[in-house]
Chain A
Amino acid sequence: MQRRVNIWSNIDWLTVTIYLVLVILGWINIYAAVFNEDNQSIFDLSQRYGKQIVWISTAFVIAFIIFVIDINFYPFFAYFVYGIVIFALVVVLIFGTKVHGATSWLEIGNFRIQPSEFAKIATALALARYLSSHNVQINTLKSYIRIAVIILLPASLILLQNDTGSALVYFAFILVLYREGISEGILLLGFFVIVLFILALVLAKLTIILLSIAIVFIIFWFLNRRFKIVSLGLGILILNISVIYGLNELFKIGFSFYLVILIAIGISGFIYIILAIRHKIKKVVILLLFFIGSILFTNSVDFVFDNFLEPHQQKRINVVLGLESDPYGVEYNVNQSKIAIGSGGIYGKGFLKGTQTKFDFVPEQSTDFIFCTIGEEWGFAGTLFVVFVFTFFLYRLVKIAERQRSSFSRMYGYGVISVLFFHITINIGMTIGLVPVIGIPLPFFSYGGSSLLAFTILLFILLRLDASRLELLK
């Protein structure tokens, strides 16, 4: 059932105000980042700040148009829009223009767009549409597969465009799934896989296997809580290790210690299964499978890392993990960025007074590293304000999402939050050296038409749905 409500009076004007503040602050910093005393006219279209004014105006017009469109359009056409975007991504892959090594630009006349920016909106819509369908149970294998397809299809196409940063954004949709009740077990497994991935790169294989043994026994203790059985299991393992180690030494077989432990685990595992069946102890098999899985996984990580990642990506990961020092490459950029921000002090050097970001030494300063300019010219006061505004903004969006009566609107709302949250966290985190350098823009701040328009559309569809939330009667 629906009723008519005056949408203009129901718009969340607080969010619109925050949006305006962010866009204006963004523009001021783009102006500062590319400032040059000889070109001071803000409407100079040959300069980035001039172009950005055009983009901002366009964004306003589009925001207005979104408010005029009927809300039923979004769930109804969600899959259709998704289909178009996937098609565009394929086209880009074939006919795209290369910029900074990524083939993500589509040139139509002298107009250049980046479909990957708009794919986030389409994915958020399609995901909300799918999850809000009547008969969908999120925790079934069928749903897992379909959700994975919806999210990973655009992500892998973007990955093929060599734009790793934009592809990683799709991981953020886990937040939507979490909110909509995906099993904690699946999330924990996912989390464990990531931790294991990192551990596999950082630690030696021997350390990992010993650590895994410890973890498995601790889990077993929590599941079972019987001291006798746990210590029996441990005893069997230690005995096996000692015997095999002894034989290895005695007959000079020359197995490595790692191999000795593996063999001992194999024999012990066999004994465990027999004992478990005989004494009806549950979960031993699952734990064993889990253990074998993680051993296989850690062994394949090195393979994946060496064979599937490009050298510069390996380098970035290694630098952040502290495995590799690279003061002239990736680390150099991060260092420069930290200096720019750090040199801002408490109150900053003042508008247009920045020196670090004026040189070429902070890379991409009006796009991905725009936060440097804020840090340098406005100091801690400025960065704290921006971080606060962003946090408040996201907090507000959670509130908006939660007050939706239609589950489609709520899920779309969380899609918006996921994308924005990921962008903000990774972008700021990267400029202050907390996360690897992944080239994605800071929403509403970074220079660039495609990203500003995409974020505006993303946000204003939610505001449009929100403005009509009272139309739906339950």
Chain B
Amino acid sequence: MDSFANRRHIIRFIIILIGLIFAIKLFILQVADSTYKLTASNNVLRYVTQFPARGLIYDRDGKMLVYNEAAYDLMVIPRQLSPFDTTEFCQILNISKEYIDETIKKAKNFSNYNSSIFLKQVSSKTYATLQEKLYKYPGFFVQSRTLRKYTNENAAHLLGYVGEVDEKLIENDKYYKQGDYIGISGIEQTYEEYIRGKKGVNVYLVDVHNRIKGSYAAGKLDRKAEVGSNIISTIDSDLQAYGEKLMKNKIGSIVAIEPSTGEILSLVSAPAYNPELLVGRTRTKNFITLNTDTLKPLFNRALMAQYPPGSTFKVINGLIGLQEKVLWANTNYSCEGAYFSGRFRMGCHIHKSPLDFVESIQISCNTYYCNVFRSILDNKKYPSIRESFDQWRDYVMSFGFGQYLNSDLSNELKGLVPTKQRYDRIYGEKGWKSLTLISMAIGQGELGTTPLQMANMTAAIANRGYFYTPHVVKEIEGEFELDERFYKKNYTKIDSNYFELAIQGMDLAVNGEPGSGSTARLAHIPNITVCGKTGTAQNPHGEDHSIFIAFAPKENPQIAIAVYIENGGFGGTWAAPTAKLMIEKYLNDSISVSWWEDYILNAKINYNAETSKHME
């Protein structure tokens, strides 16, 4: 039955053949061939990581904003240490003996065989001295890397900073090793993958005297580092610098967007900090100081501060009214200095009466918008206020409110547009009506928006109905395109023809005849039609915040801007002239009336300079 028993010999033969092949190959590898042997028994291989320079960051005109500077880390491999003259070592490096003991102990804890950082960012001068004497200290070697340098002290929030990776990240991402740097905020964080480049490694032969004898195996195992991609940001660095200058001694923010692309031209958060502070050996110390500062300079107000939009929101309510056909261009409401409904009263300022829609924006009448808002919510088209409210909310959300805009900056805040459920919870399903929500008619109450969202809304108005997702990067070197979301038009739910009426009102608010009740005449620039709207955000904790949104020129807009000045009071007082200066700077590159500049520059608005001296 078993007629193939002879085949067992062949199987045995194959087994022995493979064993022999292995034995021969191992003999060649381990005995005969010296390629894989080290030249002397005491020599060791040293793997030196090659850190690529991070990509440079430029502004939209190609001016360099961020570059690199060489720095040297002193590394130690505990296993290769031998006793050395600590006194001289301490002297060269300006460290204490305790530091040596403690750091070496830590390094041993991490790994006896792998290198760890002994001393970070040794200066080039110290490095030169050390290099000559390094032969006395086996187990130590120097690894060069780069640190960020900035051409000026602006745009810190936007550029972000770089720091060491933490334990958690090392576990999640194999690319990073202890002591590596990573972008922590701003462009440095969002575009980390492109900016960081790719680490390489050089393998050296090192003799007992800690001298590098040369590249191992003729560099066959070396891996070249790849330099990070350069980034061209959308920032206009002159405008950014000017904005930060104007915002000195004030708290607040400025966001300027190019409406035709969604590119952020400047993003100011005041108070700011010098980005140089978060680089190098003093980083940790400076970070703590900045972090405990009561004015919160690390807090990016442009993205993370949430305020009610104030009267600027009347434009949105007006547009919704027009779209819902409860308001027409010639709808007139009269105002007797306040809006009354039963026992309810909302004050207004003294102005001519009655007003039509365009005038209502020009003059910013509260009464008018109480009427508009109520006619939207009490629209007979809908079975109840719960449906009409949902409709209203949809319109508002289509401008980018109440959600992440999904820009390329991290830490964006969503803002707040309340849901009907919120009112159901407070008042019960049938317990609320249009009058309950009336403060939102003039942009107060539950609404919360960020300066970035407001600038985006302004861009949508300037574009007559759509916006591009705001972003701070124009081009990544070596990449064909940015993420596709930055090339997509996001349409609001308002027809474009209605925008012309609102824009007419915003034009008159800035450029109306003296005495016509225009609220934003301080934003007027000769020869440029600025369209704007003032706002004041109610502040329960003190003086109200001053808001102004604007775009210019009226036809073919090139800049849309939102300015917030905390505790600045009425929007027309501080925010409007600040916006005007920014627009003029961007469009004309010069300021027509210099005393306006001095007026803003010299203003100190509720700003306690004592507490933030170190930011200067």
Q: Hey, which bits of chain A sit against chain B, CB under 8 A?
A: 36-38, 175, 178-181, 327-328, 332, 335-336, 338-339, 341-346, 355-356, 358-361, 375, 379-380, 383-384, 387-388, 390-391, 394-395, 398, 402, 407, 414, 417, 421, 425, 428-429, 432, 434
B572-593 interface code vs A (CB 8 A; 1 in, 0 out) = 0000000000000000000000
Residues of the A chain whose Cβ atoms lie less than 8 Å from the Cβ of B36: 338-339, 341-343
Residues of the B chain whose Cβ atoms lie less than 8 Å from the Cβ of A358: 113
Say whether A37 contacts B38, CB under 8 Å.
Answer: no
Residues of the A chain whose Cβ atoms lie less than 8 Å from the Cβ of B111: 36
What is the distance, in angstroms, from A434's C-beta to the closest C-beta of chain B? 6
Residues of the B chain whose Cβ atoms lie less than 8 Å from the Cβ of A359: 47, 113-114
Say whether A180 contacts B15, CB under 8 Å.
Answer: no
Residues of the A chain whose Cβ atoms lie less than 8 Å from the Cβ of B37: 342-343, 345
Say whether B223 contacts A345, CB under 8 Å.
Answer: no
Residues of the B chain whose Cβ atoms lie less than 8 Å from the Cβ of A38: 108-109
Q: Is B21 an interface residue (CB 8 A)?
A: yes
Say whether A179 contacts B221, CB under 8 Å.
Answer: no
**A355 and B45 in contact (CB under 8 A), knowing A37-B112, A178-B11, A179-B8?**
yes
Say whether A434 contacts B25, CB under 8 Å.
Answer: yes
Q: Is B345 an interface residue (CB 8 A)?
A: no
Q: Is B26 an interface residue (CB 8 A)?
A: yes
What is the distance, in angstroms, from B1's C-beta to the closest C-beta of chain A? 8
Residues of the B chain whose Cβ atoms lie less than 8 Å from the Cβ of A339: 36, 217, 221
Nearest opposing residue in chain B for A347, CB measure: B30
Partner of A341, one of B19, B26, B47, B114: B26
Nearest opposing residue in chain B for A379, CB measure: B30
- Report the bound CA distance from A327 to B505 in whole Å: 68
Partner of B220, one of A335, A341, A346: A335
Say whether B12 contacts A398, CB under 8 Å.
Answer: yes
What is the distance, in angstroms, from A351's C-beta to the closest C-beta of chain B? 15
- Report the bound CA distance from A391 to B22 in whole Å: 10
Nearest opposing residue in chain B for A402, CB measure: B8
- Report the bound CA distance from A375 to B26 in whole Å: 9
Name the residue in A332, A335, A358, A391 with the highest tally of chain B Cβ atoms < 10 Å from its Cβ.
A391
Residues of the B chain whose Cβ atoms lie less than 8 Å from the Cβ of A355: 44-45, 113
- Report the bound CA distance from A399 to B33 in whole Å: 36
Name the residue in A332, A375, A432 with the highest tally of chain B Cβ atoms < 10 Å from its Cβ.
A432
Say whether A428 contacts B15, CB under 8 Å.
Answer: no
Q: Is B27 an interface residue (CB 8 A)?
A: yes
Residues of the B chain whose Cβ atoms lie less than 8 Å from the Cβ of A379: 30
What is the distance, in angstroms, from B40's C-beta to the closest C-beta of chain A? 12
Residues of the B chain whose Cβ atoms lie less than 8 Å from the Cβ of A434: 21-22, 25
Nearest opposing residue in chain A for B15, CB measure: A394
Q: Using a CB-CB cutoff of 8 Å, which residues 104-136 of chain B contact chain A?
A: 108-109, 111-114
Q: Is B7 an interface residue (CB 8 A)?
A: yes
17 contacts between A and B (CB under 8 A): A179-B4, A179-B7, A181-B3, A339-B221, A341-B29, A342-B29, A342-B37, A345-B37, A356-B45, A375-B30, A384-B23, A388-B23, A395-B15, A407-B1, A407-B2, A432-B22, A434-B21
Name the residue in A336, A343, A388 with the highest tally of chain B Cβ atoms < 10 Å from its Cβ.
A343
- Report the bound CA distance from A383 to B113 in whole Å: 24
What is the distance, in angstroms, from B186's C-beta to the closest C-beta of chain A? 32
Say whether A388 contacts B31, CB under 8 Å.
Answer: no
What is the distance, in angstroms, from B199's C-beta to the closest C-beta of chain A? 12
Q: Is B426 an interface residue (CB 8 A)?
A: no
Residues of the B chain whose Cβ atoms lie less than 8 Å from the Cβ of A342: 29-30, 33, 35-37
Say whether A345 contacts B30, CB under 8 Å.
Answer: yes
- Report the bound CA distance from A459 to B108 in whole Å: 43
Residues of the B chain whose Cβ atoms lie less than 8 Å from the Cβ of A375: 26, 29-30
Residues of the B chain whose Cβ atoms lie less than 8 Å from the Cβ of A395: 12, 15-16
Residues of the B chain whose Cβ atoms lie less than 8 Å from the Cβ of A361: 47
- Report the bound CA distance from A356 to B38 in whole Å: 11
Q: Is B5 an interface residue (CB 8 A)?
A: yes
Residues of the B chain whose Cβ atoms lie less than 8 Å from the Cβ of A429: 22
Residues of the B chain whose Cβ atoms lie less than 8 Å from the Cβ of A360: 114
Partner of B5, one of A37, A338, A402, A425: A402
**A181 and B30 in contact (CB under 8 A), knowing A343-B37, A395-B16, A398-B15?**
no
Partner of A344, one of B30, B108, B109: B30
Say whether B221 contacts A327, CB under 8 Å.
Answer: yes
Q: Is B18 an interface residue (CB 8 A)?
A: yes
Residues of the A chain whose Cβ atoms lie less than 8 Å from the Cβ of B7: 178-179, 181
Residues of the A chain whose Cβ atoms lie less than 8 Å from the Cβ of B21: 434
What is the distance, in angstroms, from B86's C-beta to the closest C-beta of chain A? 22
Say whether A328 contacts B223, CB under 8 Å.
Answer: yes
- Report the bound CA distance from A390 to B18 in whole Å: 11
**A432 and B26 in contact (CB under 8 A), knowing A180-B4, A181-B3, A343-B38?**
yes
Nearest opposing residue in chain A for B5, CB measure: A402
Nearest opposing residue in chain A for B12, CB measure: A398
**A327 and B220 in contact (CB under 8 A), knowing A361-B47, A383-B30?**
yes
Say whether B2 contacts A380, CB under 8 Å.
Answer: no
**A398 and B221 in contact (CB under 8 A), knowing A355-B45, A383-B26?**
no
- Report the bound CA distance from A391 to B37 in whole Å: 27
Nearest opposing residue in chain A for B219, CB measure: A327
- Report the bound CA distance from A335 to B11 in whole Å: 32
Partner of B112, one of A36, A336, A390, A417: A36
What is the distance, in angstroms, from B88's C-beta to the closest C-beta of chain A? 28
Nearest opposing residue in chain B for A384, CB measure: B23
Say whether B114 contacts A387, CB under 8 Å.
Answer: no
What is the distance, in angstroms, from A137's C-beta to the closest C-beta of chain B? 12
Say whether A388 contacts B19, CB under 8 Å.
Answer: yes
What is the distance, in angstroms, from A218's C-beta to the closest C-beta of chain B? 24
Nearest opposing residue in chain A for B80, CB measure: A355
- Report the bound CA distance from A83 to B220 in whole Å: 50
- Report the bound CA distance from A388 to B20 in whole Å: 9
Nearest opposing residue in chain B for A380, CB measure: B30
Nearest opposing residue in chain B for A429, CB measure: B22
**A398 and B29 in contact (CB under 8 A), knowing A343-B36, A343-B37, A407-B2?**
no
Partner of A179, one of B11, B44, B45, B223: B11
- Report the bound CA distance from A318 to B152 in whole Å: 51
Partner of A335, one of B4, B22, B31, B221: B221
- Report the bound CA distance from A355 to B206 in whole Å: 13
Residues of the A chain whose Cβ atoms lie less than 8 Å from the Cβ of B18: 391, 421, 425
What is the distance, in angstroms, from B175's C-beta to the closest C-beta of chain A? 13
Residues of the A chain whose Cβ atoms lie less than 8 Å from the Cβ of B1: 407
Sorted nearest first, the 7 A-B pairs with minimum C-beta distance are: A342-B36, A391-B19, A181-B4, A380-B30, A358-B113, A394-B15, A383-B26
- Report the bound CA distance from A345 to B38 in whole Å: 10
Residues of the B chain whose Cβ atoms lie less than 8 Å from the Cβ of A387: 19, 22-23, 26
What is the distance, in angstroms, from A348's C-beta to the closest C-beta of chain B? 9
What is the distance, in angstroms, from B42's C-beta to the closest C-beta of chain A? 11
What is the distance, in angstroms, from B78's C-beta to the closest C-beta of chain A? 9
Say whether B25 contacts A432, CB under 8 Å.
Answer: yes
Nearest opposing residue in chain A for B26, CB measure: A383
Nearest opposing residue in chain A for B35, CB measure: A342
Residues of the A chain whose Cβ atoms lie less than 8 Å from the Cβ of B30: 341-342, 344-346, 375, 379-380, 383
Residues of the B chain whose Cβ atoms lie less than 8 Å from the Cβ of A356: 45
Partner of B22, one of A328, A338, A343, A428: A428
- Report the bound CA distance from A231 to B64 in whole Å: 78
Nearest opposing residue in chain B for A387, CB measure: B22
Residues of the B chain whose Cβ atoms lie less than 8 Å from the Cβ of A181: 3-4, 7
Residues of the A chain whose Cβ atoms lie less than 8 Å from the Cβ of B33: 342
Nearest opposing residue in chain B for A410, CB measure: B2
Given contacts A359-B114, A425-B18, 8 further A-B pairs with CB under 8 A are A341-B36, A346-B30, A375-B26, A379-B30, A387-B19, A388-B19, A390-B19, A432-B22
What is the distance, in angstroms, from A302's C-beta to the closest C-beta of chain B? 29
B371-382 interface code vs A (CB 8 A; 1 in, 0 out) = 000000000000
What is the distance, in angstroms, from B535's C-beta to the closest C-beta of chain A? 52
What is the distance, in angstroms, from A421's C-beta to the closest C-beta of chain B? 7
What is the distance, in angstroms, from B104's C-beta to the closest C-beta of chain A? 14
